[in-house]
Amino acid sequence: MDESHASNLTGFSQLLDGLEADGDAFSITLAPDWLQGRTAYGGLSAALCLAATLRANPSLPPLRSAQFAFIGPATGMLQITPSVLRQGKSAVFFGVDLTGDSGLAVRATLCFGAARTLPGEYGGLVFPALRPPDRCPDFYTFANRPNFMDHFDGRLAGGGAALSASARPEMLVWLRHRDAGVDDLVRLIALADALPPAAFAAFDASVPISTMTWSIDMLDANPVSTSGWWLVQGIAETIEQGYSAQATVIWSGDGRPVLCARQTIAIFGAR
């Protein structure tokens, strides 16, 4: 990306500064460079739902799980309304609706939970053996990329490049925000959906897509990457009948698994 274009981008920190309290809700109008076509991309909508909830409730325990249904386009002035569904001794559930000019766009359920002492712990996700980011080729080189992808730096570490007609629909990509803001969970959620679907590794041409549902499980109560880089692995488990089911795992730069997710993606065929 040339420097003149990069200087005209609205950084993620600047974008979040535009999230304003509006009664029991929050409102924001997105800059065009954060859009996927005419709508906010799914990861940004999810990040805004989380950001609004945390601003309204700054003393919550860590996020443990989240589910997002992307019901319609998130266009125009967006309004995000978080509300408590249930609060127990150690966990609290929030419902969050994000609406725009076209009505309800996102319905989210967020689960926050305090830590507990257990008799034993286990982790079965193994950090892949691969090259560091500075020894990997650029990832965002394919044509017809959505505007929002300009906000991310990606390096292909394994699997297939987008639109490379790879035999296996899998991507393994180092990712980071170009905007070097404070490293927090809201930024991670926005980054977690910054790749095209893993199905794109098996395609040789771009096609319209839309995420329908996204389910996230947090593996780390306070995910931090000291280098700014995160390793994102996306695997399409099925691509058929106009849909793809995808699994995603994200590791911090030092090899700690921090997030796993499942996603259902609608694929609309050739343009």
At 62-106, the pLDDT tens digits run 999 999 999 999 999 999 999 999 999 999 999 999 999 999 999
If one compares 180 and 111, the residue with the highest pLDDT of the two is 111
> What pLDDT does 89 receive?
92
Other beta carbons within 10 Å of 184:
15
Using DSSP bridges, classify how beta strands 243-252 and 103-113 pair: parallel, antiparallel or unpaired: unpaired
Nearest to 139 by CA among 84, 194, 210, 180: 194
Residue type, 209: I
Look at residue 49 and tell me whether its pLDDT is greater than 60: yes
pTM value? 0.95
Look at residue 2 and tell me whether its pLDDT is greater than 70: no
> What pLDDT does 270 receive?
62
Pick the CATH number of 3-114+136-267 from 3.40.960.10, 2.40.160.210, 3.40.50.2300, 1.10.3720.10: 2.40.160.210
Q: Which of 10-19, 87-96, 154-163, 176-185 has the lowest mean pLDDT?
A: 176-185
DSSP string across 214-262: EEEEES-SS---TTS-EEEEEEEEEEETTEEEEEEEEEETTS-EEEEEE
Q: CA-CA distances (angstroms) from residue 67 to 93, 139, 261, 271?
A: 11, 28, 10, 30
> What pLDDT does 158 receive?
96
Percentages of the chain per state (helix, strand, coil), in multiples of 5 = 20, 40, 40
Other beta carbons within 10 Å of 91:
14
Domain ranges for the chain = 3-114+136-267
Q: What percent of the chain has pLDDT over 90?
A: 87
> What pLDDT does 122 receive?
86
Mean pLDDT of the chain: 94
